[in-house]
Amino acid sequence: MTQPYMGALKQVERLMQDSLGVYSQNSMNQLHDLCVQMSQDTIYDVDYLKLMELYGRKYRKEKNEDALRYVVMRMQQVTLARKNPKSAAKYKGIVFTDKPLDSFTKAFLQEFPLLLHTYEERYKVRILQMATFVFVILLIPLVLLFHLSFLIIWLLLLLLFGIFVYYTFKYGYESIVKDQIQDLIQSVDPTLKKLDQMQMSQ
């Protein structure tokens, strides 16, 4: 049975808010213990996002940019999955609900609105540039080699161009993001890394 963790997470949040300068050891110990418990349980999406928000605030305070980027990317993935049942089904350890996000979690996410979108746009631009370059380079040699009309070769290459771009956009981007997350996760706490392995496996 899924156990709600929001009450305990909010308690840690209050401890963190009461800390001056660095976060108190007590708040960090409680955050660690909650992460351990949640890695061994099926958890609600809102609880996962709250936990990640707290870790994000911790990493921002520590100026651990890679860990912070990992947290934000995972939060954005789960936030998007809340709107897409097909994506939500990939995350076996998370129960998706229609519960509203905590106001502090919303505010934290709004500080990084375009991270995944930026990755996607950069990826698409690179793929289009590469595909266009190959298209142009192959066009004239293929016309000369096969002695076909320029129009026929152009149409065939255009078809291949479209197929390549479609499948690369559809499947390649997810692979790039997955690889990026695997690089960034090396910077996070071992307990959070374990939670990722248990709850975010697809």
> Of 182, 184, 164, 183, whose CA–CA distance to 172 is shortest?
164
Q: What's residue 70's pLDDT?
A: 93
Mean pLDDT of 101-120: 81
pLDDT of residue 1 exceeding 50, the answer is no
Q: What's residue 6's pLDDT?
A: 94
Compute the distance between CA of residue 12 and CA of residue 102 in angstroms, rounded to an integer: 14
pLDDT band for position 172 (cuts 50, 70, 90): low
Compute the distance between CA of residue 54 and CA of residue 48 in angstroms, rounded to an integer: 10
Q: What's residue 31's pLDDT?
A: 96
The full DSSP string for 126-193 is HHHHHHHHHHHHHHHHHHHHHT--HHHHHHHHHHHHHHHHHHIIIIIHHHHHHHHHHHHGGGS-HHHH
Measured CA distances, 125 to 11, 158, 162, 168, 180 (Å): 44, 18, 14, 12, 18
- 34-86 pLDDT, tens digit per residue, is 999 999 999 999 999 999 999 999 999 999 999 999 999 899 999 989 998 88
pLDDT of residue 33 exceeding 80, the answer is yes
Measured CA distances, 77 to 70, 114, 184 (Å): 11, 12, 15
pTM for the full predicted model: 0.75
199 in Cβ contact with 38 (< 8 Å): yes
Q: Where are the domains of the chain?
A: 6-112+189-199, 117-179
Q: What's residue 26's pLDDT?
A: 94
Q: Number of H helices and number of E strands within the chain?
A: 10, 2
- 114-171 pLDDT, tens digit per residue, is 666 666 666 677 777 777 777 777 777 776 677 767 777 778 778 887 887 777 777 6
Compute the distance between CA of residue 79 and CA of residue 118 in angstroms, rounded to an integer: 16
Q: What's residue 92's pLDDT?
A: 84
